[in-house]
Amino acid sequence: MQNKILGIDSVSGRSGVALIGGDGIIEERRIDHVNGRPSKNLLVEIDKLFQETKTDISEVSSVGITNGPGSLTGIRVGISMVHGLLFESRIPVVAVNTFDAIEKASGRKNDLQAIRIRKTEWLLRTNGKISSADEKQICDLINSVKTAAMIGSVPNEITTDLLVIETSLARSVAEIAKNVFQFGNAMPIEQLSPFYFVEIYSK
């Protein structure tokens, strides 16, 4: 019976996979990219997830994947891996914006969402607009709002109500994908494409 949703996050720096069913989370796994190729690690962890939960790919109704913005390598790895994984099964897919996943994981409404993509560079979203910032700028921007949520080490001199996401976004991705799928808005795998923030990658 197709009643499970697979969530995959490969772009946030805290990659992971999660499987949810009708009653909520079934299992979640954090991914270690230290050893081996990221794409191989993703497939290995998905296989382990299916084995531990005794799940067959035929039981998966839809797959949610963070398609960006975020780590350029992570975006490419995740999108390519999902294309390969779903090529034969034709399971519909849901592309989840990284900032939407951060917002979902925070469990609240935030004025700003941010993710560190390089040692001194950040991507952030405020009022629906995405921009980039360095270490000094991100501190000023976070302190200019009432609430914020982010992934990455906390910048110094933060005085606002900041929530740091310490876990993978995979569960949030799966939950968002579940809602999208239920409303009939999942897409064929052929339509899945990355969301790059061109400005930051062209520097």
Given a cut of 60, is residue 192 above it in pLDDT?
A: yes
- 194 lies in the same domain as 136: no
pLDDT digits (tens, 9 = 90+) for 131-178: 999 988 999 999 999 999 999 887 777 889 999 998 889 999 999 999
Confidence of residue 75 (pLDDT cuts 50, 70, 90): very high
Q: What is the pLDDT, as a whole number, of residue 152?
A: 83
CATH number at residue 133: 3.30.420.370
Q: What is the pLDDT, as a whole number, of residue 66?
A: 96
Number of domains in the chain: 2
- 127 lies in the same domain as 148: yes
Q: What is the pLDDT, as a whole number, of residue 202?
A: 45
The β-bridge relationship of strands 24-30 and 129-134 is unpaired
Q: What is the pLDDT, as a whole number, of residue 2?
A: 64
Q: What is the pLDDT, as a whole number, of residue 187?
A: 97
Q: For the chain, give the number of residues.
A: 203
The angle that helices 98-106 and 170-182 make with each other, rounded to 10 degrees, is 100
